[in-house]
Amino acid sequence: MNAFRLGSFRLAPVASKLAVENLKSTSNVLSKSLRKLSTRSQELHELGSVDHAFTDDRVDKVAEPERRAFTYLLLSGVRFAYASTARVLVVKFVSSMSASADVLALASAEFDLGEIDMGKTITVKWRGKPVFIRHRSPDEISTEAAVSMAHLRDQEADDDRTLKSQWLVVLGICTHLGCVPISGAGDFNGWFCPCHGSHYDISGRIRKGPAPLNLEVPPYKFTDETKILIG
């Protein structure tokens, strides 16, 4: 037993010396390998690409022009599809904002004037607003035509406010604060606004009071001798 221990003690320095020499040689090999790698550029297979996909899938613009043309064609087709889809969406959006048929029907209204006696005024409704339609007599027409422009705040000739002189069509909204004037009243036998005392003549022109403008004439046309279409 003592002889075995003595042999172990004698071999221990030798084993440690051999281990140190092995480590030195291993480190020398690694350092040489690192120097070689640093002194030359690495190949593609050395970077970890073992399937060669980059080389296999790469399009050669000179040797394979048909593949390049196919790629351009594919990209162009995709872009055209995107542009077509965007155009369809824009057209649908714009069309959804346009007025529908029922809204357009409410935008205009037709009225029969055959039952309105001369010298009388009726009130109709168009777009939620009152509209005055007056059947004027020849005396009323001549009276309004003779009014001097110097007497008018909002200067308009009577002929410019009518399509047919016997028919006057105006919005029944006072141009001061939006009240509805009373027909056949006021100092000029036209309309009178009781809110603040504006007086309009039989041509719907402001003659007295705080209103700054004449009664508005809506867009209208005659569809028959006794029928008008407002709007």
Q: Where are the beta strands (DSSP E) in the chain?
A: 109-112, 121-126, 129-135, 167-171, 182-183, 191-193, 198-200, 206-208, 220-224, 227-230
N- to C-terminal Cα separation, the chain: 127
Active site (annotated) includes residue 151: no
Exposure string over 85-96, b if 16+ CB within 10 A, otherwise e: eeeeeeeeeeee
Residues constituting the chain? 231
Q: Where are the beta strands (DSSP E) in 45-148?
A: 109-112, 121-126, 129-135
**Are 208 and 190 a contacting pair, CB within 8 Å?**
no
Question: Which residue among 52, 135, 176, 196 is the active-site one?
Answer: 196
State the residue for tokens 């006794």: 226
Going by their DSSP bridges, the two strands 182-183 and 167-171 should be labelled as unpaired
Question: Measured between alpha carbons, how far is 122 from 225 in angstroms, rounded to an integer?
Answer: 17
SS3 9: helix
Q: Which residues pair with 145 in a beta bridge?
A: none
Catalytic residues: 196
